Chains A and B, each alone.
Chain A
Amino acid sequence: MLSMARDDRQDVMHFQIGEVAMSLRTPLRSLRSQYLALYEDFRVPQRARNSIRIEVRPSQRSLRHRRCYRVYVDGRLRFEPTRFKELLPYVEWAVNWELARVMPQFLQLHASSMEINGQGVILPGASGSGKSTLTTGLIADGWRYLCDEFALIHSGTLELHPFPRAICVKKPAFSVMESLGFHLQKARHYHKGTKGDVVFLNPLNLRPNGIGRTCPVRYVVFPRYAAGAEPALVPISRAEAALDMHHVCFNLFGCRTLGVEVLAKLVRGASCYRLISGEIGKTCRLLRGMVEQAAQPQALSA
């Protein structure tokens, strides 16, 4: 009977997060409310073309009599987490997973990306290099957020585009967040694979007007966290920077334009450095000094 038909339109939500369009369909009301807590401001009424479609369903109990969940990406089963607190990290990961396929017009680097005074700054680095912590520190210092996990570089214009996803903070960085004035006691904790306990921060809650706009790339800085180290910036050649960015590129061969060519063109307009990051306040002041003075080919230190 028609009156018995379940209207599942309420189960699906659409979002436009910077350049990235995605839809989340799930009957799990708690997951929807967790996702809205992070992305309510990016919600849109209709599904966009090339939208990434994520679906999360509870599944049959497993052999160990535990409930498990299924995460589908564009109709294909990708993940089967067993705990509810793993779900949101898997939804985030599922979006990352699909980016290269749905956005071949962008070269995608594993990097934080920020904007300050209309200038783009890319902070490439592998997991554990301190990108997200540094990103949050820079937001607190007045920089504008583009993304904590990706640098989306348009292969034609070479401009850096925003993808202001929620910032993922790992447990070892919680105390740094507190020192920056971001209180995590009430934040919901999630479990993210080998990274352990994490918290997701809505970047719009960190600072008013804190989201950056599309901008040209002016700086490429490779951060490496060293506990207790005096922060320092060391200039590197553009060829070295391009080669190192090529190592952290997600779609070097899947980009519409040859990835190496994009990187070679990109670094021609950028100053390139390695950053030894230490205490967050000093490190942010050092980076602010970098953008406030004309880039000189000499080592800077805090």
Chain B
Amino acid sequence: MTDAVNGDGVRLSPAVCSESGSQARLVRRTDVTVYELDGEGLVFDATRGDTHRLNATAMAIWRECDGRQDAAQIAERLTDSYDVSMAAAVEHVERLLREFQERRLVYTAF
């Protein structure tokens, strides 16, 4: 399968990354519809017929999935907005990124 390239020039693989370590750089899918509701998100994936709810933190992390930042970098940005330690933020971000991957809401960027 040919890798796609997004609008920012980030090369994407549609396959879900088997590694979900903190080094993975993920990029959010742009072919899903996102409805923002009071800071939370309702994400509709028309290709799979799935609907997902992202709470405010998940939405913030989702927005940071630009294919250029790994989990540690996203966590660092989160610590600017939330009163949370870096270690806890990294753990939280990694868990959410794994969940995004399981739900196929992100691609892996190379």
Chain A residues proximal to chain B, CB less than 8 Å:
237-240, 242-243, 246, 253, 258, 260-261, 263-264, 267-268
Contact mask for chain B residues 37-69; partner A; CB cutoff 8 A; 1 contact, 0 none: 110111010000101111100000000000000
**Minimal Cβ-Cβ distance residue in B for A264:** B35
Q: CA separation between A285 and B23, bound complex, in Å?
A: 55
**Which 9 pairs show the lowest CB-CB distances between chains A and B?**
A264-B35, A239-B40, A238-B37, A243-B53, A260-B44, A239-B37, A239-B53, A239-B42, A246-B51
Question: How many residues of B sit at the interface, in one of the four size bands?
Answer: 10 to 19
Report B25 CB to chain A, min CB distance, Å: 27
Residues on B with C-beta less than 8 A from A264 are 35, 37, 42
**Minimal Cβ-Cβ distance residue in B for A239:** B40
Q: CA separation between A264 and B38, bound complex, in Å?
A: 11
**Minimal Cβ-Cβ distance residue in B for A242:** B42
- Answer yes or no: B33 CB below 8 A from chain A CBs: yes
Q: CA separation between A238 and B38, bound complex, in Å?
A: 7
Please determine whether B51 and A243 come into contact, CB atoms closer than 8 angstroms. yes
Q: CA separation between A261 and B36, bound complex, in Å?
A: 11
Residues on A with C-beta less than 8 A from B49 are 253
Please determine whether A260 and B33 come into contact, CB atoms closer than 8 angstroms. yes
Q: CA separation between A264 and B52, bound complex, in Å?
A: 12
A239-B53, A242-B42, A243-B51 are known contacts. Are A261 and B37 too (CB-CB below 8 A)?
Answer: no
Residues on A with C-beta less than 8 A from B44 are 258, 260-261
* Residues of B1-47 contacting chain A, CB below 8 A: 33, 35, 37-38, 40-42, 44
Please determine whether B38 and A240 come into contact, CB atoms closer than 8 angstroms. no
Q: CA separation between A100 and B37, bound complex, in Å?
A: 27
The contact of B41 among A239, A261, A267, by CB within 8 Å, is A239
Residues on B with C-beta less than 8 A from A267 are 37
The contact sample of 10 A-B pairs, CB cut-off 8 A, is A237-B37, A239-B38, A239-B40, A242-B35, A242-B42, A243-B52, A243-B53, A260-B33, A260-B35, A261-B35
A237-B38, A237-B40, A239-B41 are known contacts. Are A261 and B33 too (CB-CB below 8 A)?
Answer: yes
Q: CA separation between A111 and B97, bound complex, in Å?
A: 35
Report A268 CB to chain B, min CB distance, Å: 7
Residues on B with C-beta less than 8 A from A253 are 49
Q: CA separation between A258 and B45, bound complex, in Å?
A: 12
Residues on B with C-beta less than 8 A from A268 are 37
Residues on B with C-beta less than 8 A from A258 are 33, 44
Residues on A with C-beta less than 8 A from B40 are 237-240
Report A220 CB to chain B, min CB distance, Å: 12
